[in-house]
A and B are shown apart, each in its own frame.
Chain A
Amino acid sequence: MIRKPKIHRLQFKILIFFLLLVTSYGLLLTAVESKIYIDITSPAFKKLPIAIQEFEGPLGRDISAIIENNLDFTGFFSPVSSDAFVENPSQEFNPKNWLPLGVEAVVKGIVKQDNELSAKISLYDVIEGREVFRKEYRTSRDLMRPLSHAIADDIYFKLTGEKGIFRSRIAFVSTKDQERMEIYIMDWDGKRITRMGISGNIILPPRWSGDGTKLIYSAERNRQWGIYLLDFLNMSEKNIYASKGTNMAGNFFPDGTTFSFSSSKDGTPDLYVKHIKDDQIIKLSSSYGIDVSPTVSPDGHYIAFVSDRGGTPQIYIMHRNGSNIRRLTFEGSYNTSPSWSPKGDRLVFVGQRGKNQIFTIKPDRTELTQLTVSGNNEDPSFSPDGRYIAFSSDRDGMKSIYIMRANGESQRKITPKGLVAFGPNWSPK
């Protein structure tokens, strides 16, 4: 009898093992897929008709109204009016009550209030005729709005597969009487406006760090321009750059301890980078004219900025070390205030066409799109998912903060009448 050499048997076992490994990997790719209700990356999606029933219990109406307003603003949903509903919120879900209305998703919820606020919500798929998502929440009684936003985020994620922005905040500047300016923070929808206690003769728009724990801003106090850091973790304000001249903060690099800024300390406004940890300052540009408004790309590799080196203020992009400078804007004679989308795929900026208007453009100079037409519109800032833009506008007389979808749709004012508000910067999450 010829004995099969041991080494062939071993090879055979390895072969089988490897085959199983590859097969299970392939199967894994299919098994983790879940249903996508709206493909929001597709250019031709249809809005999802959704019914958000009034939640039962105290504050139920307020909570469900906030959720509906949130989902409606995205442009991906069409909330169906409760006038058309056949089923009461307290009745058990029956798809037969919803199919004739064309509704495809239903949200129901129950709220309880004792020493805490708690909510239990269910999401129903009308086509499949069943509950598909359920979750409970609890919070302290004064956090009704963050609770509503958290529920909206979860529903949004369940139906689109993407992270929502409903718990994000917007930092901005307002005037405190005629003489001083102050930093404020509010929810993305303009509610819960909170004074931070930071004031100065002049304050330039604050900018969030990538992890959302710090704000960097410039302030003119006592005839000096300084750059300051507001750290939320230890609630402190620190001067991180001072010199003679006009010093204007850019924004943080992804590491959160290096930032870009402009300064005229050497005679003309130039661009710099500073490492906070070791106090090191690097000069990036030195042209005869004006170089300002540096803004670091989300991946930290590029810096967009404004320069009049070509004769008029235009936007340029360069490598973070100052090399490879190329011009981004060629239309119009005054283009400033660039800001990157957190997705890195486009920039928003202000172009003067008579008055100041908001534009977006891709880094390769294509798809220049004008988003506003009336009044002066400035200080644009993208939302964390790159789908919305906050900006200031005087179209109603007084400078106020507006939000809109990144394609210019659904422009709405979010700061209250009577508050002079400008310089919005959307939090990173």
Chain B
Amino acid sequence: MKRLSIYVVLLFGLIVIGCAEKKMVKQQPEEYQPTVTVHETAKRAPDTVDVQPEEKIMEQRFARIESKEEALRYTEEKDVFEDIYFNFDEYDIRDDAKPVLENIATWLLKNKSAIILIEGHCDPRGTNEYNLALGDRRAHATKDYLRALGIASNRIEILSYGEEKLLCFDESEECWAKNRRAHFVVLKEARQ
């Protein structure tokens, strides 16, 4: 008796749930019908309007923030050295860059208090984040070359600008080649 009643309950439950699920399956209209797909709504009272409670529309007001300006650590001397250039999508030091880097290394060995900042740049054909990473690799490769020439690591800062600081904007091989560069800035401690 006990086992039978359990089976009856289970069977009944499956039937009821099965019926309900069938009603939830969405029907595809086969021939032209108005867009409306009416499901069986026998349980719903006819002609009720869905009246929603009144809503007050509110919004957080954004107070403006001003970013804090941080004090400059260094003053910068630009254009002391010429730029060196890279091939498309590469960060290897080219042969034509080596004399420039040797010149820089010689200068740094003489001016022992100077620090040099290497900026890595790209042409704009790629996407911004990947180009920032590529510019970073170019600056790092340049730093590694200078270290191999005897310059201490703590005298070389690097910074990637990706494609964010373009020298020219034309879509030409000549302009793109100009942008694929490492640029050198001499840093001196800022006076307080």
* Residues of A in contact with B (beta carbons under 8 Å apart): 8, 11-12, 15, 18-19, 22-23, 25-27, 29-31, 33-39, 41-42, 44-49, 104, 125, 127, 130-139, 143, 146-147, 150, 154, 158, 185, 194-200, 202, 204, 219-225, 230, 232, 235-237, 244-246, 248, 262, 264, 267-269, 289-290, 292-293, 306, 312-313, 334, 336-337, 350, 352, 356, 378-379, 423
CA of A379 to CA of B51, assembled, Å: 42
* Cβ contacts under 8 Å, B40 to chain A: 30, 33
Decide if A336 touches B65 in the complex (CB within 8 Å).
no
Decide if A29 touches B133 in the complex (CB within 8 Å).
no
Decide if A42 touches B26 in the complex (CB within 8 Å).
yes
Kindly state whether residue B2 has any CB partner on chain A within 8 Å.
yes
Number of interface residues of B (CB under 8 A): 72
* Cβ contacts under 8 Å, A139 to chain B: 56-58
Give B75 Cβ to nearest chain A Cβ, in Å.
12
Decide if A22 touches B36 in the complex (CB within 8 Å).
no
CA of A22 to CA of B5, assembled, Å: 14
| CB nearest to A78 among chain B residues | B35
Query: Which has the most chain A C-beta neighbours within 10 Å: B16, B60, B127?
Result: B127
Knowing A38-B35, A39-B37, A150-B55, the reply to whether A158 touches B50 (Cβ < 8 A) is yes
- The listed residue (A22, A36, A132, A143) touching B16 by CB distance below 8 A is A22
* Cβ contacts under 8 Å, B89 to chain A: 312
Decide if A246 touches B34 in the complex (CB within 8 Å).
no
Knowing A26-B16, A237-B67, the reply to whether A133 touches B59 (Cβ < 8 A) is no
* Residues of B in contact with A (beta carbons under 8 Å apart): 1-2, 5, 8-9, 12-13, 16-17, 19-21, 23-24, 26, 28, 34-44, 47, 49-60, 62-68, 70, 72-74, 89, 117, 125-130, 132-137, 140, 157-161, 164
- The listed residue (A45, A223, A232) touching B35 by CB distance below 8 A is A45
Decide if A18 touches B9 in the complex (CB within 8 Å).
yes
Decide if A36 touches B34 in the complex (CB within 8 Å).
no
Knowing A30-B20, A130-B47, A137-B57, the reply to whether A197 touches B65 (Cβ < 8 A) is yes
Give B185 Cβ to nearest chain A Cβ, in Å.
9
Knowing A25-B17, A198-B67, the reply to whether A37 touches B136 (Cβ < 8 A) is no
CA of A370 to CA of B68, assembled, Å: 42
